[in-house]
Structure 1
Amino acid sequence: MGVKLIIDTDPGVDDALAIALAALSPDVDLLGVTTVFGNVPVATTTRNARGLLQLCGRPDVPVAQGAERPLVRPNPEYSRNVHGEDGLSGQAGALPAPERAPDETDAVSLLLSLLEAADEPVTLAPIGPMTNIALLLAAHPGIRAKIGRIVAMGGALEFGNKTPSAEFNIWADPEAAHRVLVEESVPLVLVPLDLTHKCAVDAAWLDRLGESGAVGAALKSMTGDYLGYYRQALGFEGIVIHDAVAIAEAIKPGILATTSYPVEVDIGLGPARGTTLVDRRTPRRESSSRVVDIALDTDFDGLRSFMLDGITGGRR
C-alpha cells in the first residue's frame, strides 16, 4: 500500500472527484475522511462524503463530522451557486445509502486517533476550509510528528474566486488558514487557483469519465450545476477540479512543481480578508513570514491523464 492519507473535505463536486481519486487508487491507504462546512453546511458535506465512499466501494473508511462554522467570525455563505443546493448538482440523493454510520467521535478526535495509530508519517489533505486542521494542531501540538506533510487546496496569487483577491477555502476561515499556513511548522504544499485553473478538464475528459462505468457515470452526473458555472467562467465546455489536483499531489509527490515563497493570510476585516499574500519579489527580501511550497506548474496533459486513470482504473 502506498501513501497513508486522510482527507478533510466539504463535498462539493470537485471534492467528490478528489475523494474518488483517493478511494479508488491502489497507491493510497485512505485512513479516514473528516468533514467541514464549506461548499454546503457540514451535515450535508458529511452525508455526501459517506455516500461517495459507498459509491466507490469503500464503506471501510471512517467518516467523522467536523466544524460547522469558522474559528472566529460567523460565515453564513456557502457555494450553492456553484455546486448546487446539495453540493452535488442535485444528485446527492442518487448516491447509494452508506453501510457505515458516521464515526461517533468528532473530526478532530478521529484525526488524532488515526494519526496516533499510524506506524509511518501520514499525509493530511485539507481540500476545504482549514478549521479542523487548525483545531487539531492547536489542541494537540505533539501530533505534528505523525504528519509527514499537508497538501492543501487553497489560496490565490493573481485572482480570487470569492473576492477579487481571495480564494473560497481561505476566505471561509482566514484565521484557521493563518494558523495552518503561517503559524505551523509541518511541511506543506499549497495548491492555489493559479494552477488549478490551468488544469481544467474539457467535455471530452468528462465524456471518458462518464463512459468508464457506473462510478464514472455517477460522478459525471454530479457535474451539471458545476459545469454551468464553469462554462461561463472558462468560456468553454469544461470544469476546474481544484481538489482533485491537490489529491493527485498527495498521492504522487512531485506531480506538481512547487516553488517556495513566504506566505501570509489577511485576517483583517477589510475587502482583502482571506487573501493569500505571497511574496514573489526578487531578489527575496528578508521576511519573518513562513516559507511554503506553492504548486505553480505541472505536466498538464499528464496530470489530467493521471486523474482520469486513477478514477476510472484506466477504463476509458
Structure 2
Amino acid sequence: MSILFISAGRIMIDQRIKVIVDTDVDIDDWMAILYLLKHPRVHVLGITTTGVGAAHLTPGTVNAKNLVMLSAYPETPVAKGTSAPLRYSNQFPNSIRYGIDTLFGLTLPANPHPIDPRSAVQFLKETLEASPDPVTVLAIGGLTNLGTLFTAHPEVKAKVAHIVVMGGSIALPGNVYDVDNNYINKVAEWNIFLDVLGAKLVFSSGVPITLVPLDASQYVRLDKTFYNRFSRRRTSRAADFIHDALTADISFVMSNNFYFWDPLAAAVVTTPELVRSTGTVVSPQSMSLDVIQELDEENDTSGQLVRSADGPKIGVAMWADAEAFYAEFIRTVNLPDQG
C-alpha cells in the first residue's frame, strides 16, 4: 500500500522508500543522513538518536535536528533515545566525542521545529504503527533503541520491512582497540561493541537484516583522493557542509583509516546492488551469526560476531563497488533541494 498525495493538482502515489534512521550522530552519520534526505526515492519518516556512541545524547540530538535544515525537509521529526546501553558501559573516548558534539566548530542553521517530545522507542513504535507501508530502518549506531523496541513492543516487528545495520566484522580485526587502547578488545566493531545485548536482540528479532560490516566498508576508503574529487563537486548546501566537516577533520581523512562506514549502509537502502558477498556473487551472503556477550577483562571478545549453527540468519555484505558508490554518493548529495 502507498500513500496518496496531491501535487500540482494531481493525485500522486508516494512510492518512495519509507526510512527511519537510528543514529549516534557521528561525522559519517551526518553524511548518511544527508544522503537519504537528498535522495528522491526516499522518504525519511524520522530520526532517532542514541547517546551510546560518538555523540553525547543532547548535543547529538540537537545536531541531528539542525542537520535536516540542509534538505527540503526541515520538519523531519527527531526523537531522543538513551545514553545507557542495555549491557555494560562501553563508550567512545571523550577526545572524539567533544569534536562530534561541537561539529568541529562548524555551525548549522537553527531548526525552528522542536525535538519530538516522545522517547525514541515510543516514536519508533508509533511511527511504525501509523505507516501504511512497511518501513526500512537504517541502524548506524549502537542498537540500544531497536533492541529495547523489539523487547517492549514485539508486535511492531511486522511493520519493519528491512533493517540495514552498519556494524560488526566477519573476517577482519575489530576497530575498538585501534580507536581506544584503554579497551583490550581487538575483535569487535564499535556499533556492536557499544551495546552487545542490543545487537543480539536485533539480530534475533526475526526482521530481515542486511549487515554492512567492516569487511564491506574497507573497499570504500574516505581519503585525500576522494576529498579532492568531492571538493570539485559541490553544488548544494549539504555537499558544502560535508566538505567543511571533512576539512575540519582533515587529519582523519589523511590517516587512511577513514572509511564510508555509515554512508555505504545508507546507499544499500537505495541501491542494494552496490554490495555483495564477494566481488562476483550478486547478493549478500546469508550467515548464521551470534554476538558474544561475555566481557572478560583479560581477554575481551564481547561484541564479536561468530558463526553459530543456532544463530539467526543475517544477510552479510562482504564487498562493495567503490567507484559506483562514490559516484552515487556525490551525485545524490549534490541534488537540488526539492520537496
Q: Same fold (TM over 0.5)?
A: yes
Aligned mates of 1:8, 1:194 — CA distance in 2:
21
Question: Where does residue 181 of structure 2 map in the other structure?
Answer: none
The residue type equivalent to 1:176 in the other structure is: G
Aligned mates of 2:234, 2:263 — CA distance in 1:
18
Alignment of 1:1-316 (within 5 A): 1-37=15-51, 38-75=53-90, 77-82=91-96, 84-87=98-101, 89-92=103-106, 94-157=107-170, 158-163=172-177, 164-181=186-203, 183-210=204-231, 211-213=233-235, 214-224=237-247, 226-234=249-257, 239-257=258-276, 258-270=284-296, 271-278=300-307, 287-313=309-335
Question: Where does residue 282 of structure 1 map in the other structure?
Answer: none
8 A contact 2:222–2:253 mirrored in 1: no
Closer, same or farther: CA 233–278 of 1 in aligned 2, 3 Å:
farther
- The one-character-per-residue Cα deviations of 1:269-305 (angstroms, maximum 9, x if unpaired) are 12111112246xxxxxxx1111110011232211111
- The one-character-per-residue Cα deviations of 1:7-49 (angstroms, maximum 9, x if unpaired) are 0001111000000000011010110000001102111210111
8 A contact 1:156–1:193 mirrored in 2: yes
Question: Where does residue 283 of structure 1 map in the other structure?
Answer: none
Aligned mates of 1:259, 1:154 — CA distance in 2:
15
8 A contact 1:130–1:170 mirrored in 2: yes
The residue type equivalent to 1:218 in the other structure is: F
Aligned mates of 2:245, 2:105 — CA distance in 1:
6
8 A contact 1:88–1:222 mirrored in 2: no
**CA RMSD, 1 decimal:** 2.0
8 A contact 1:201–1:304 mirrored in 2: no
Aligned mates of 1:310, 1:146 — CA distance in 2:
28
Aligned mates of 2:70, 2:194 — CA distance in 1:
28
- The one-character-per-residue Cα deviations of 1:53-105 (angstroms, maximum 9, x if unpaired) are 11224212100000111012223x3255456523465135x111112110011
Cα shift at 1:307: 1.3
Aligned mates of 2:307, 2:327 — CA distance in 1:
30
**Residue correspondences, number:** 301
Aligned mates of 2:293, 2:254 — CA distance in 1:
32
Aligned mates of 2:81, 2:119 — CA distance in 1:
6
Closer, same or farther: CA 33–197 of 1 in aligned 2, 3 Å:
same
The residue type equivalent to 2:293 in the other structure is: I
Aligned mates of 1:79, 1:128 — CA distance in 2:
15
Aligned mates of 2:243, 2:97 — CA distance in 1:
13
Closer, same or farther: CA 78–304 of 1 in aligned 2, 3 Å:
same
Q: What secondary structure sits across from 2:99 in the alignment?
A: coil
8 A contact 1:83–1:225 mirrored in 2: no
8 A contact 1:89–1:224 mirrored in 2: no
8 A contact 1:154–1:169 mirrored in 2: yes
The residue type equivalent to 1:243 in the other structure is: D
Closer, same or farther: CA 31–297 of 1 in aligned 2, 3 Å:
same
Which sits farther off after the overlay, 51-60 or 105-114?
A: 51-60
Q: What secondary structure sits across from 1:185 in the alignment?
A: coil
Q: What secondary structure sits across from 2:156 in the alignment?
A: helix
Which sits farther off after the overlay, 270-279 or 149-158?
A: 270-279
| Long gaps (5+) in structure 2 | 1-14, 178-185, 277-283
TM-score (norm 2): 0.83
Larger Rg: 2
| Long gaps (5+) in structure 1 | 280-286
Closer, same or farther: CA 207–82 of 1 in aligned 2, 3 Å:
farther
